[in-house]
Amino acid sequence: MTTTFVQTPSTADLVAARRPGHSLPRDLYCGQQAFKDDLEQIWYREWLFAGPSAAMPKTGSYITMQVGEYPVILTRGSDGRIRAFHNVCRHRGQRLCAKASGTGAKLVCPYHQWTYDLDGKLLYARDMGEGFDPSKYGLKSVHCIDLAGMVFICLAKVPPAINELAANVTRYVLPSGLADAKVAHVSRIVEKGNWKLVMENNRECYHCGGSHPSLCRTYSDDPLMTVMEGPNAASPEILDHWARCDAANLPSRFVNAPDMQWRMARVPLMDNQESFTMSGKAAVRQRMGTIPWNDAGSLMFYHFPSSWNHFLPDHAIVFRILPISPTETEVTTHWLVHKDAVEGQDYDLQKLIEVWMNTNDEDRQVVEENQAGILSPAYEPGPYSPTQEAGVIHLIDWYCGVMSARLGALQAAE
């Protein structure tokens, strides 16, 4: 007698059955179970980019983020330090703060006004009776680290090692002077696509020629720009750029995690243009940090699962993605400029944000169409281009490696 399996395959089965070098099986891009497993095995365990420290410029500045089921708040304390907490009141669990960002001297719960200090301590709770010990009701903290102005959080009890990433981000990003930057603009969009489709799309420029007329004025869609083999292996143009940067002590050469969870490299823009603007010229009069030239190109830094970034001489653009549902992802973009740059005087906001406002919207459209096609039962995983989509292969191999190890360990423990 044969047994018929009517059970839907588990995420571990789907990952094990995936064809290397190909896009993933449909359920991994839209299934509820895969979404839950992605949250539990990746989003609740990895370091996640939360935002630039410049988004919390002074004591009491805060930003919030929703990581799956966890609302999180980050605040800057009176000691200047940025801390992260579960955005959940210790009284009866109200979400403390609903706004995406703001400023307040204390964190006051909107329900019954329990009041917390910026370091999470409960300062005030009305009529709680004798024997109530406020020291037992501080906000629950979340791991948080500020790397040269790039703030990361981790929801895990024991976060993964971050020393390699920390050392490299600090070294590469420090010259961009993010601690002396201000937010010129923030955009929040929701893309109707799985988070992996949003990240896949970012990891290749195979689509750039067909989708990004404004970005392609300054960013070459030559795959050699996105795919580098190592600190000494890249196109002759990039190798020349690195030699010039070395001489100016500007960290630029390709550096990566062995499993490709993150990568940094500074690449020149096309024809030595200066910035991601329609004219190719710098959008901001002041350069950021200690970047020595207008044509230093873009320091590109991605980190799986949640971020990609461009650090240009005159501005930086930092991107955070957060999964909302199996087929929805929030993309938050911050444009950073030197803190002394004055809008209308030193930069024109429209010229500063135009190219990436367009590019984000173009990427949203392709991601949404990608999701719409994958939702068809007729969808079948297709092959990635080994040259054009090597970055996507890195992402998907990293994802499958992490998921199979962690889901496998769970199964073994059962």
Q: How many residues does the chain have?
A: 414
Residue 288 touches which of ligand 3BY, Fe ion, ligand FES, none (CB < 5 to 8 A by kind)? none
Nearest approach in angstroms of CB 88 to ligand FES is 9
> Binding mask 225-264 vs ligand 3BY (x if CB under 6 A, - otherwise)?
-x--------------------------------------
361/372 Cα distance (integer angstroms)? 16
Interaction with ligand 3BY in 197-216: which residues (CB under 6 A)?
202, 204-205, 208
Task: State which of positions 68-97 bind ligand FES (CB under 6 A).
Answer: 89, 91-92, 94
Strand partners, 335: 185, 317
Residue nearest to Fe ion (CB): 363
CB of 163 to ligand 3BY, least distance (A): 25
Q: Which is nearer to ligand 3BY, 202 or 256 (CB)?
A: 202
Closest by CA to 25, choosing from 5, 3, 40, 10, is: 10
- Does 363 bind Fe ion (CB under 5 A)? Our answer is yes
Nearest distance, CB of residue 193 and ligand 3BY, angstroms = 16
Q: Which does 111 bind (CB under 5 to 8 A by kind): Fe ion, ligand 3BY, ligand FES, none?
A: ligand FES
Q: Which does 300 bind (CB under 5 to 8 A by kind): ligand 3BY, Fe ion, ligand FES, none?
A: ligand 3BY
d(CA 34, CA 21): 20
- For the bound state, the minimum distance from the C-beta of residue 141 to ligand FES, rounded and expressed in Å, comes to 17
Q: Tell me which of ligand FES, Fe ion, ligand 3BY, none is bound by residue 66, counting a contact when its beta carbon lies within the kind-specific cut-off of 5 to 8 angstroms.
A: none
The nearer residue to ligand 3BY, 36 or 207, going by C-beta atoms, is: 207
Work out what residue 219 binds among ligand 3BY, ligand FES, Fe ion, none; the CB cut-off runs from 5 to 8 Å by kind. ligand 3BY
Q: Which is nearer to ligand FES, 94 or 294 (CB)?
A: 94
Which amino acid, 409? A
Residue with tokens 């087929």: 327
Binds ligand FES (CB under 6 A): choice among 81, 111, 141, 340: 111
Give the residue among 269, 292, 274, 288 at the shortest CA–CA distance from 346. Answer: 288
Considering the complex, state which of residue 81 and residue 140 has its C-beta at the smaller distance from ligand FES. Answer: 140
Point out which span in 105-113, 232-240, 273-281, 406-414 binds ligand FES (CB under 6 A). Answer: 105-113
List, in order, residues 6 or more apart from 161 with CB less than 8 Å away: none
Of 112-141, binders to ligand FES (CB under 6 A) are 112-114
By the criterion CB under 6 A, which residues form the site for ligand 3BY? 202, 204-205, 208, 219, 226, 300, 308
